[in-house]
A and B are shown apart, each in its own frame.
Chain A
């Protein structure tokens, strides 16, 4: 019984059938399918195999106290949620994408190496580029491109999730704060030494 509060709930072994992306060819109203996607009404897809419109109220009362009238619906699942495919397929594409993204990050570190004490410009740029790309990708996926189902976990969760990193920031902050020598400020390391002379 899916929780109406949280339609993104995944069982341990999700049935790929009901979560299949609405086929634009067979669907009678592709616009409503897109609206359902946009409003995040995954419950209509996950819970009901017959693609009921998203506006259909849930027949069961909310178990843990109904949502307030003004409160919007729960967050739509927008990252790494498989529309179809088995769990193993999704895990495989996430692993492959993560390996690809991490390799690109490692390659960026080789191309533009930064000193251990210097400001990590490469990590900053990797994260900014990755965030920009995921924003572009998700909007394209939502607005323009009916991508194959495994594309989103591959690109968003795998490649871009593996490309960007949070732990490097945290660990670098510790290293920078724990070094006894006073390291130069970021703007000093940005310019080339010859330019500053």
Chain B
């Protein structure tokens, strides 16, 4: 049953990541991988919210499997982030690569902290 919830969540999260990346690429003509950055930050915010809710006792293990492991886990990605960073360094855009790493880490952590604090405030 939990497997099924993870699968359902991931089957929504992965196409959402793909569509977001396509939209961002279409809208902003830049070498900065904004789509991956966006999904990672939004996914971290959502998982922070869920973690705060779970700590407050408002989200059970099924919600965590569906939304946390499935949706947020598949919405965010590490492999694409590292690959795009590598591609930036390979094409001699080292500053952009460093900016990508710093921005993703900082914004992702900040989003998770904000989400968790908000989740605790909402459901705590």
Contacts and interface: CB of A to CB of B under 8 A. Distances in A.
Interface of A: 3, 5-6, 8-11, 72, 74-80, 90-91, 94-99, 101-103, 105-106, 109, 127, 130-131, 133-135, 138, 153, 156-158, 160-171, 173-175, 178
Nearest to A98: B14
A99 B7 contact: yes
Nearest to B44: A170
B15 A91 contact: yes
Given A10-B25, A75-B88, A157-B14, A102 B73 contact: yes
A135 B84 CA distance: 11
Contacts of A170: 44, 47-48, 108-109, 111-112
A98 B70 CA distance: 9
Interface of B: 2-3, 6-15, 17-19, 21-22, 25-26, 29-31, 33, 40, 43-44, 46-48, 50-51, 55, 65, 68-70, 72-84, 86-88, 91-92, 104, 108-109, 111-113, 116
Closest 3 CB pairs of A and B: A98-B14, A6-B29, A102-B10
A16 B108 CA distance: 35
30 contacts: A80-B18, A90-B18, A91-B15, A91-B19, A98-B74, A99-B7, A102-B70, A102-B74, A103-B3, A106-B69, A109-B69, A127-B78, A134-B83, A156-B80, A158-B14, A160-B77, A162-B13, A163-B79, A166-B44, A166-B81, A167-B43, A168-B72, A170-B44, A170-B108, A171-B51, A173-B112, A174-B48, A175-B51, A175-B116, A178-B116
B31 A171 contact: no
B10 A167 contact: no
Contacts of A157: 14, 17-18, 80
A102 B7 contact: yes
B29 A74 contact: yes
